[in-house]
Amino acid sequence: MSTTAPEPPDFLTVEEAARVLRIGRTAAYALARRWRVTDGREGLPVVSIGRLLRVPRTALEEIAGGAITSMVTGERALPASEDGDVEPSRTSPPRTTNHRHPSARSTSSDQPTLPLT
């Protein structure tokens, strides 16, 4: 049994194109808007299909510098390298945040206090 992934569609949504390019959804829509405003001189290439915007796969492959090898919903599609291998994903470590409860107050005595009147 073959385990090859199905070929990506000829037209991708702006959000799918954003995942391929590893940019945010808002940035992708801004680039699509720029494409339309500048008559295709700059931005993310899109075509209108009714009220929908679609990114041609061939144009996206040009931008990405290689063939798009897979389109899995929820995961990033990776461009292929020149020798056909899929480039490994570069993941950053999870961000840690120091959330403080709004009522948490500093107990440091070196901070000035304001008199309550």
Reported as a single tens digit per residue, the pLDDT across 94-109 is 555 555 555 555 555 5
Q: Find the mean pLDDT for residues 36-63.
A: 96
pLDDT class of 53 with cuts at 50, 70, 90: very high
Question: How far, in Å, CA of 102 to CA of 48, rounded?
Answer: 46
Helix (H, G, I), strand (E, B) or coil at 37: helix
Distance, CA of 82 to chain centre: 22
Q: State if pTM tops 0.85.
A: no
Model pLDDT for residues 63-72, shown as the tens digit of each residue = 989 998 876 4
> Is residue 73 packed enough to be buried (19+ CB in 10 Å), middle (13-18) or exposed (0-12)?
exposed
Average pLDDT across the chain, whole number = 77
pLDDT class of 35 with cuts at 50, 70, 90: very high
